[in-house]
Amino acid sequence: MDNQLNDAPNSRHAVDVKRMLHPYTDARAHEKAGPLIITDGSGVEVFDNQGKSYIEAMAGLWSVAVGFGEKRLVDAATRQMSSLPYYHTFSHKSNEPAIDLADRLVAMTGRKMEKVFFTNSGSEANDTVVKLLWYRNNALGQPERKKIISRKRGYHGITIAAGSMTGIPMNHGGFDLPLPGFHHLTCPHFYREGFEGETEAEFTERLAQELEELIEREGSETIAGFIGEPLMSAGGVVPPPAGYWRRVQEICRKHEIVVIADEVITGFGRLGTRFGSDYYDIEPDIMVMSKQLTSSYQPLAAIVMTDDIYQPVADQSSSIGAFGHGFTASGHPVATAVALENLDIIEERDLIGNAARLAPMLQAKLREFSDHALVGEVRGEGFIAAVELVANKTSRSPFDPVGVVGRELAAHAHAAGLIIRAIGDTIAFCPPLIATEEDVTKIITRFGLALDATTRTLP
Ligand code: PMP
């Protein structure tokens, strides 16, 4: 373990500050604060370079389903590295783990899915989805059908097309995004977006009308797809209002708009079901998977599509001579081998069942904080949840500026040995699927301490 003192001039801590530009980090604040350097992990815990332990209540970035230090994944990677460390899947080449994983993912969906395309990240997968739909619609002789609909606060990644689908100002500002042709609907968050006196059912209907009106205004023949996370996550953990997905699907079907379920977080058990689409009865044309697919032990994402999506793409590729899209590591044998082993572990240990069993406890225990003066809303489904902090409970007014109190709470949580994520002033929880009742209890206790400490330090 690297337990060099962080304040030594040549420490990793100092070199990090000197050399690294960190993703999703205020660079100037980082120059002062420096990094938290994690060196080890075991089960639901990680350890920093000073030996302090933390419960990782965010499973890294919503992804380490099987927990840290899982030897079986190390062995699977080692075996594959020893036999075939790399091979590509371009120009008719293939490799065994990629083939097996593609077949397994199609079967796991339990849907009429037929084909799989592999990428390294969720962003690349969603960029690929946009290109796939553009390519398909050109093949279908509908070159005007290119626009994409997503939602404000939806998260689909940060590459140029994926970042355009993402509906978060931080991902657009300064980057000249979104590109033209990407439309963002109201976030389906009843607590924040519902009108006074409006019922949840009326809210759902208003969102459905908004979708209809957008399609009418733009012309349905210009719209390629609707993308959504079954349960919005990185935008602040937002379960949709009742009936939302039924209405969205009805409208999309009527206008022949492809439905894309971004399952990057909800896939492989997060809601106590295999996919978020199972939880909300979504019948997508395309499913995008990543994160818990390998428990993030390897970078990998998969786009799983119906035959109807595939066929025009296949025709177009024949007329041009090839499907001119792919990554050096598309279907990487080590990543796909790790995914296969990871899926075995999830199945053998019934981790989806475990998430389903522990979900009511996590949700109920967090809701006990609902009466706290700083807590505006506690929300979540399955094994993912959030607590939104507000300046005024009655008016629901947020803190000004947003984010300071959230960061403060996250810092108190770190001090108490708990890693959670502050999304503005919303605190997110997404524990590894291997968590136990005892782990959930510890998460809740440490969160309570951090919340109290935050309350004490407020003016
Ligand atoms: N889609 C969703 C729903 C996500 O949550 C994320 C990442 N948080 C992405 C796409 C992008 O994945 P990546 O960071 O691997 O590019």
SS (HEC) of 176-187: CCCCCCEEEECC
Mode of pairing for the β-strands spanning 38-42 and 45-48: antiparallel
Q: How many CB atoms lie within 10 A of CB 76?
A: 24
Residue 416 lies in a domain: yes
Find the 264 Cα to ligand 1 centroid distance in Å. 6
Which residue has the least CA distance to atom 7 on ligand 1? 157
Residue ranges in 259-322 assigned as alpha helix (H) = 276-279, 307-320
Q: Considering only CA atoms, which of 65, 19, 10, 52 is closest in space to residue 351?
A: 65
Residue 224 lies in a domain: yes
Residues 299-321 as b or e (16 or more Cβ within 10 Å = b): bbbbbbbbeebbebbeebeeeee
Find the 395 Cα to ligand 1 centroid distance in Å. 33
Q: Which residue has the tokens 């639901």?
A: 44
126 CA: nearest ligand 1 atom: 10
Does the CB atom of residue 156 touch ligand 1 within 6 A? Answer: yes
Does the CB atom of residue 229 touch ligand 1 within 6 A? Answer: yes
Q: Are residues 48 and 77 in the same domain?
A: no
34 token code pair: 């420096």
Q: Are residues 222 and 297 in the same domain?
A: yes
Residue 351 backbone dihedrals phi, psi, to 5 degrees: -70, -25
Q: Are residues 343 and 397 in the same domain?
A: no
Residue where one domain finishes, among candidates 348, 371, 387: 348
Find the 67 Cα to ligand 1 centroid distance in Å. 19
64 token code pair: 């380490």
Q: Are residues 335 and 389 in the same domain?
A: no
* Residue to probe by mutation, ligand 1, list 291, 293, 295, most atoms within 8 Å of CB: 291
For residue 225, give the 3-state DSSP assignment: strand
Label each residue of 27-66 as H, E or C. Answer: HHHHHHHCCCCEEEEEECEEEECCCCEEEECCHHHHCCCC
Q: How many CB atoms lie within 10 A of CB 455?
A: 15
Find the 62 Cα to ligand 1 centroid distance in Å. 9
Question: Are 359 and 382 within 8 A, CB to CB?
Answer: yes
Does the CB atom of residue 58 touch ligand 1 within 6 A? Answer: no
Residue 12 lies in a domain: no
Residue where one domain finishes, among candidates 348, 381, 406: 348
Give 286's strand partners: 260, 305
Q: Are residues 62 and 98 in the same domain?
A: no
Q: For position 312, which CATH number holds?
A: 3.40.640.10
Interface pTM, i.e. ipTM: 0.99
Q: Are residues 343 and 377 in the same domain?
A: no
Find the 157 Cα to ligand 1 centroid distance in Å. 5
Give 238's strand partners: 232
Question: Are 214 and 150 within 8 A, CB to CB?
Answer: no
- The pLDDT tens digits along the chain (459 residues) read 445 678 888 899 999 999 999 999 999 999 999 999 999 999 999 999 999 999 999 999 999 999 999 999 999 999 999 999 999 999 999 999 999 999 999 999 999 999 999 999 999 999 999 999 999 999 999 999 999 999 999 999 999 999 999 999 999 999 999 999 999 999 999 999 999 999 999 999 999 999 999 999 999 999 999 999 999 999 999 999 999 999 999 999 999 999 999 999 999 999 999 999 999 999 999 999 999 999 999 999 999 999 999 999 999 999 999 999 999 999 999 999 999 999 999 999 999 999 999 999 999 999 999 999 999 999 999 999 999 999 999 999 999 999 999 999 999 999 999 999 999 999 999 999 999 999 999 999 999 999 999 999 987
Q: Are residues 244 and 384 in the same domain?
A: no
Q: Are residues 58 and 142 in the same domain?
A: no
Residue 20 lies in a domain: no
Q: Are residues 287 and 308 in the same domain?
A: yes
Q: Which residue has the tokens 């075991």?
A: 42
Supply the range of the domain harboring residue 315: 73-348
Does the CB atom of residue 166 touch ligand 1 within 6 A? Answer: no
Q: What is the pTM of this model?
A: 0.98
What is the 8-class DSSP label of residue 425? T
Q: Considering only CA atoms, which of 337, 305, 298 is closest in space to residue 120?
A: 298
Residue 50 lies in a domain: yes
For residue 197, give the 3-state DSSP assignment: coil
Residue where one domain finishes, among candidates 327, 348, 369: 348
Q: Are residues 54 and 159 in the same domain?
A: no
What is the 8-class DSSP label of residue 144? T
Number of domains in the chain: 2
For residue 388, give the 3-state DSSP assignment: strand
What secondary structure does DSSP assign to 320-375, as a single string?
HSS-----TTTT-HHHHHHHHHHHHHHHHTTHHHHHHHHHHHHHHHHHGGGGSTTE
Q: For position 62, which CATH number holds?
A: 3.90.1150.10
Q: Considering only CA atoms, which of 92, 58, 90 is closest in space to residue 439?
A: 58
Residue 15 lies in a domain: no
For residue 340, give the 3-state DSSP assignment: helix
Q: Are residues 289 and 385 in the same domain?
A: no
Does the CB atom of residue 267 touch ligand 1 within 6 A? Answer: no
Does the CB atom of residue 262 touch ligand 1 within 6 A? Answer: yes
Residue 222 lies in a domain: yes
Question: Are 222 and 203 within 8 A, CB to CB?
Answer: no
Does the CB atom of residue 123 touch ligand 1 within 6 A? Answer: yes
Q: Are residues 343 and 258 in the same domain?
A: yes
Residue 412 lies in a domain: yes
